[in-house]
Amino acid sequence: MSAGTEQRRNDVLWAIVSDFIATQEPVGSKMLVDRHKLGVSSATIRNDMAVLEAEGYITQQHASSGRIPTAKGYRRFVDAIHQVKPLSRPERRAILDFLENGVDLEDVLRRSVQLLAQLTRQVAVVQLPDLRVGRVKHCEIVSLGTGRLLLVLITDTGRVDQRNVDLTEPLSEDNVARLRDLINGAMVGRTLDEACAQIAKVSGEAKSKAISAELRGAVLAVTTVLVETLLERPNDKLILAGTSNLMSAGLTGGEDLAPVLEALEEQVVVLKMLNGVRDMHWRVSIGEENEDEELRGASVISAGYGSSTTVLGGLGVVGPTHLDYPGTISSVAAVAHYVSRILAGE
């Protein structure tokens, strides 16, 4: 087979996939001739389609219908996408403006999935970063009045978590400041595991009465909350948006997306998938390529976000296999890039 014939068949496959994504209707040879300047006759196109079908790239649902792509066809289509189509300057500015208005990391990530769902008309997902990836930047301790404190734990990844602590007796503002210094002295600059060990030591000192009586009760209460609900908390939070988009896509595409919806609701499968994101480059997993059975009726486009040296988490889009791959890849890559820029303070 000549190089020209191979390229033409690639062009025919590209046209079939593009048209099916746009219309969700089987594609016939006449449609290809009418819509695309392929430079050959309908008979040649029909021959090319027969070869592509024999090779497993397209299939025919009914004897009288046109062809639709298979997962193998979508994979060949995606592998031919070597460069992400850049967004326009107004699109980039709109994304950045929307994300920059987030009040903290979780708000930025919540905005990122809302934006991805709107841009792609699919389900968008993002995992909050693992607290253990970062180091403690500061632990703010604020008096909320008689007998209650607010703890705000901040890591260098931008993660912010807070908890209330009830005390058995009031604490003066001077002692709140002393408590803050004690806790930060044990935690700041350390990883979460290291900080947890240091806080446990502080708690032990309080129990052994090595800490002054006026601070002892507050230290025990604060260290207990830190260890039990902040430092030991696993990375198990997923934010998603646009579930109704997937329901509509299933109806039009004919795919059984019920297991995908169940996986999104349970979150475990999707978190496992995002935990597998190792770098900032986008990746596509189509149908049977997905490790978990629940996602084998869908395509997943994902990318990591974080710093140049550390991936803090993954974000992406879950949709039917006939989703708009070039446009979705472009949106996922752009949003991941701008989330990373915001976290880096750029």
**Final residue of a structural domain among 177, 206, 231:** 231
Residues 166, 209 within the same domain: yes
Residues 207, 278 within the same domain: no
| Tally of domains in the chain | 3
Least confident among 165-169, 253-257, 330-334: 253-257
Q: Where are the alpha helices (DSSP H) in 101-191?
A: 105-120, 173-187
CATH code for position 18: 1.10.10.10
Residues 94, 49 within the same domain: no
Least confident among 42-51, 124-133, 162-171, 227-236: 227-236
CATH code for position 276: 3.30.450.40
pLDDT, tens digit, for every residue of 108-148? 889 999 999 999 999 999 988 766 667 888 999 999 877 88
Q: What percent of the chain has pLDDT over 70?
A: 91
pLDDT surpassing 70 at residue 346 = no
Residues 67, 144 within the same domain: no
pLDDT, tens digit, for every residue of 187-236? 999 888 888 889 989 988 888 887 888 888 888 999 998 887 666 555 55
Residues 168, 20 within the same domain: no
Residues 119, 138 within the same domain: no
User: Which residue range(s) make up the domain with 226?
Assistant: 132-231
> How many angstroms separate the CA atoms of 165 and 260, rounded?
40
Neighbours of 249 (CB within 10 A): 23
> Distance of CA 104 to CAs 14, 40, 107, 213, 237, Å?
42, 57, 5, 37, 16
